[in-house]
Amino acid sequence: MARYIFVTGGVVSSLGKGLTSASLAYLLQSRGFKVRIRKLDPYLNVDPGTMSPFQHGEVFVTEDGAETDLDLGHYERFSGVLAKKSDNITTGRIYNDVLNKERKGEYLGKTVQVIPHITDHIKQFIKNESSKEDFVICEIGGIVGDIESLPFIEAIRQFANDIKKKNALFIHLTLVPYLKSSDEIKTKPTQHSVKELRSLGIQPDIIICRSERHIPFEQRKKISLFCNVDIKNVIETVDVRTIYEAPISFFREKLDLQVLNYFKLKSKKSPNLNPWKKITKIILQPKKQVNIAIIGKYVELKDAYKSLDEALTHGGIFNKIKVNLIKIDSEKLKIYQVRNKLKNISGILIPGGFGKRGTDGKIEAIKYARINKIPFFGICYGMQMAIIEFARNQLNLKNATSTEFGKKGLAVIGLMHEWNKDGNIIIGTNKDLGGTMRLGSYDAKLKDNSLIKKIYKLKTIKERHRHRYEVNIAYKDKFEKKGMIFSGLSPDNRLTEIIELKNHPWFIGVQFHPEFKSRPFDPHPLFSSFIKAAKNHK
């Protein structure tokens, strides 16, 4: 039977519950156990798909096409275990399911209540598809004390009871601040947070204290005493220089050992921290650097392009070079500024995006990359913009556009039902955009003798998608005559998956999101190749 580890947070959010869970998963795996990680999010959205990246950071897409919390990206990157639809749930989805059941009369006339109906549904989710796992780590979003998280806390309390407490472990991650004025480390917020948790019926077994500096023995003792936790289970996590140090730091603090001790389990093998040490060294002691511009709408929020930033870093690890991410706000990028802003840049990347705002600067930047032979990487929306740029400036189709921007113009990009076989648009058949997203993993066939085939060294690839609009295939021949190669197509040849340019060292656009599949120990070939091209660019 699986053992369950619940990770809650206290005092403030953004303490790194996701990274803690992901690091613990790696360490347990490395000791020979099978681990799954799940995220329970307290907000009311049914999934994060409709949330703005400004609000919630990136939406991470799983192989099976779920739009999930970005923490699932950390889980995949750290543990290598592919996340599934069934690994992320929100309050919104739970209520949605319960209310649907209620409408169908499945509660047989009973009063439907938070306890037991909502909590039962949460418990079912936690247990779902976990019989083959040694450990299931469940991270509860938000912090203890939030109104929204109450049903989750109640559900995990009941769950631990249901499966017998010895099979469930509660980890509480809190902040232990350092006060400069008095030169002191303060344990009070942690005490309060644990008090709050205990008032909800949960006594933490391990407390992880996030702190700017090392926590002296005296303060650990205090936390142990006031919070009723064995001193060995008061674990510190001091700010790391790069996230890749997190597993090393938790190993040093014996987090994984304390978890095994709790469950009275013996390690099956000794963990291997060498890969983390190796990449940490490359990241912290780089010999060379390369500047990559990311031109997007959501650059102000650090987490809005999380997987992308990670994948570019992985590309840097592969090439043993530090990648400086220069984020440029596309909405503020004026056409006349492009040349100047991109002066010291060795690679230009346009990431995924939605809507018309900020397109002019992006299109100009693509033109600049194309003409000046600067490595260019267009992802999803970025590829669609590259198509529009090429149509306008190389095919002289000045009104080329995407139907995402309105009904006027020549739809070189559009919803599939909007084009007929001559490429003329038929607009207005379906106003409802919901449910028209192409989500999850799809195949693409790669063209012989193309750059993309050289990069992947494969005939067919599988990559994750998240978009509504597609390249209008009716224009393919026109584009190809002018030097654009449609080097990746869907198996039925209808959908454009990859484009590249003939007379350019590295100009690639992909309709999918390769960043979701890149791993620190297994960098995605597209990112390794892009960074290599940028490194070689003078």
Rounded Cα gap, residues 124 and 122, in angstroms: 5
Total Cβ atoms within 10 A of residue 113: 11
Rounded Cα gap, residues 308 and 301, in angstroms: 13
159 binds ligand GLN (CB under 6 A): no
The residue (of 66 and 234) whose beta carbon lies closer to ligand GLN is 66
Task: Locate 190 and state its tokens.
Answer: 């942690």
418 binds ligand GLN (CB under 6 A): no
Asked about 513 being catalytic, the answer comes back as yes
Cβ atoms 169, 259 nearer than 8 A:
yes
Among 296, 352, 378, 440, binds ligand GLN (CB under 6 A): 352
Rounded Cα gap, residues 62 and 60, in angstroms: 7
Return the closest-CA partner of residue 32 out of 245, 272, 254: 272
354 binds ligand GLN (CB under 6 A): yes
Cβ atoms 371, 398 nearer than 8 A:
no
What minimum distance in Å lies between the beta carbon of 508 and ligand GLN?
15
> Which of these segments, 155-163, 301-309, 418-426, 463-471, binds ligand GLN (CB under 6 A)?
463-471
- In the bound state, the residue with its beta carbon closest to ligand GLN is 352
Among 244, 381, 506, 527, binds ligand GLN (CB under 6 A): 381
The residue (of 362 and 467) whose beta carbon lies closer to ligand GLN is 467
Alpha helices in 165-290 (DSSP H): 188-199, 217-227, 246-252, 255-263, 274-284
> Which of these segments, 101-109, 254-262, 361-369, 461-469, binds ligand GLN (CB under 6 A)?
461-469
Cβ atoms 196, 228 nearer than 8 A:
no
The enclosing H or E element of 56 equals helix 53-56
18 binds ligand GLN (CB under 6 A): no
The residue (of 76 and 404) whose beta carbon lies closer to ligand GLN is 404
469 binds ligand GLN (CB under 6 A): yes
17 binds ligand GLN (CB under 6 A): no
Residues in contact with ligand GLN, shown as a per-residue x/- string from 237 to 256 under the rule CB under 6 A: --------------------
What minimum distance in Å lies between the beta carbon of 465 and ligand GLN?
8
> Which of these segments, 160-168, 240-248, 465-473, 530-538, binds ligand GLN (CB under 6 A)?
465-473
R_g (Cα) of the chain, nearest Å: 25
467 binds ligand GLN (CB under 6 A): yes
Cβ atoms 387, 366 nearer than 8 A:
no
- DSSP, collapsed to helix, strand or coil, labels residue 406 as coil
CA angle 361, 363, 367 (to 5 degrees): 115
What phi-psi label fits residue 130: left (phi over 0), alpha (psi between -120 and 50 degrees) or beta? Answer: alpha
Task: Locate 255 and state its tokens.
Answer: 């987090």
Task: Locate 497 and state its tokens.
Answer: 């998956």
Asked about 209 being catalytic, the answer comes back as no
Residues touching ligand GLN, count (CB under 6 A): 10
What minimum distance in Å lies between the beta carbon of 263 and ligand GLN?
41
- Calculate the alpha carbon distances from 155 to 116, 124, 135, 521 in Å: 9, 10, 18, 36
What minimum distance in Å lies between the beta carbon of 379 and ligand GLN?
7
468 binds ligand GLN (CB under 6 A): yes
Asked about 380 being catalytic, the answer comes back as yes
67 binds ligand GLN (CB under 6 A): no
> Which of these segments, 6-14, 36-44, 316-324, 351-359, binds ligand GLN (CB under 6 A)?
351-359
- For residue 163, what is the DSSP state? T
Residues carrying an active site annotation: 380, 513, 515
Which residues sit at the interface with ligand GLN, rule CB under 6 A?
352-354, 380-381, 404, 466-469
